Amino acid sequence: MQRCDAVVLATRPLGEADLLVVLFTAEHGKVRAAAKAARKSRRRFAGGLGGGALGSAELSPRGAALWRLDGFVPRLDHAALGRDLTKFAHVAYLCELTDVLVDVHHPEPELFAALASALADEIASGPDATLLRRYELALLHVLGHLPALGQCCVCGGAVAADDVPFDAGRGGALCPAHAGVAPRIAGAVLTAAQELLTGAPCAGSAGPMQSWSADLRRSLRDLTSAQLRPLLHRPLRSIAFFAQIAAAAEVDGGR
């Protein structure tokens, strides 16, 4: 049996009392494990096994077969998720995106650290969509699908400060010599994406993240969504949940 840091990405019923648990771990990457009597045991799984739970897992590896989860001790209090639907949706999205795009048994310690940080920030403060954008960029980087943001994807040369030619199909930002008829993107969007990815202070684009304009936030969302969409083999349920929350907010606002 091994103890390791882990995030619960998803759970599914397995028989009458067991659970199939999908975990993302620092040491082993994504693993699928059977948690015996998890739907009844309050001792080994006292904090529950809800999606987004970050803690210490006791795992018994079994090669390519289904592993065994013998215990899980959460490090964060997830009670706040039940009181904030938007925060709950953010956490669900982070977990589902990871589950869909990360391969089994492929350790990605950098990505695990990014996910753990995003979940901790969402639960402690949030909900903040810039946390989602930061994780999406980290995920694209680890998977090798991050477009060039600060230099030409063809020659590595300098790109314009604003109104940057950008072609995701060719690899991202383009210098004037290779721009052709590529569509343009605001330089502030690419700068903000770089700052989110590196964790640098957000002084060059629109000040601190909390003061970014709605247009900049939407443009960042559109940028990352355009890169992630071709990688997804199915629609994400968590995105549909976002739409339901937005629709409910409109109804409540009209009363």
Residue 27: predicted pLDDT:
93
Residue 156: predicted pLDDT:
97
Question: Which whole number is the average pLDDT over 25-51?
Answer: 84
The model scores a pTM over 0.75: yes
Cβ within 8 Å of residue 128, ≥6 positions away: 90, 121, 122, 209, 210
Closest by Cα among 79, 92, 91, 103 to 24: 103
Tell me: pLDDT of 210 over 90: no
Q: What is the mean pLDDT of the chain?
A: 88
The two tokens of residue 213 are 């304009």
| Spatial separation of the C-alpha atoms in residues 193 and 134, rounded to whole Å | 8
Of 52 and 200, the structure prediction assigns the larger pLDDT to 52
Q: Facing residues of 222 across strands?
A: none
Query: Binning pLDDT at 50, 70 and 90, where does residue 174 land?
Result: very high
pLDDT in tens, 39-82: 776 667 776 788 999 999 999 988 778 999 999 999 887 777 77
Question: Which whole number is the average pLDDT over 70-96?
Answer: 87
Tell me: pLDDT of 200 over 80: no
Task: Name all domains of the chain by residue range, CATH numbers in brackets.
Answer: 2-127 (2.40.50.140), 128-255 (1.20.1440.120)
Residue 202: predicted pLDDT:
40
Tell me: pLDDT of 254 over 60: no
Tell me: pLDDT of 208 over 70: no
Residue 93: predicted pLDDT:
96
Portion of the chain with pLDDT greater than 70, in percent:
91
- 165 by Cβ neighbours in 10 Å (0-12 / 13-18 / 19+) ranks as buried
For residues 123 and 81, the answer to whether their CB atoms sit within 8 Å is yes
Query: Binning pLDDT at 50, 70 and 90, where does residue 255 land?
Result: very low
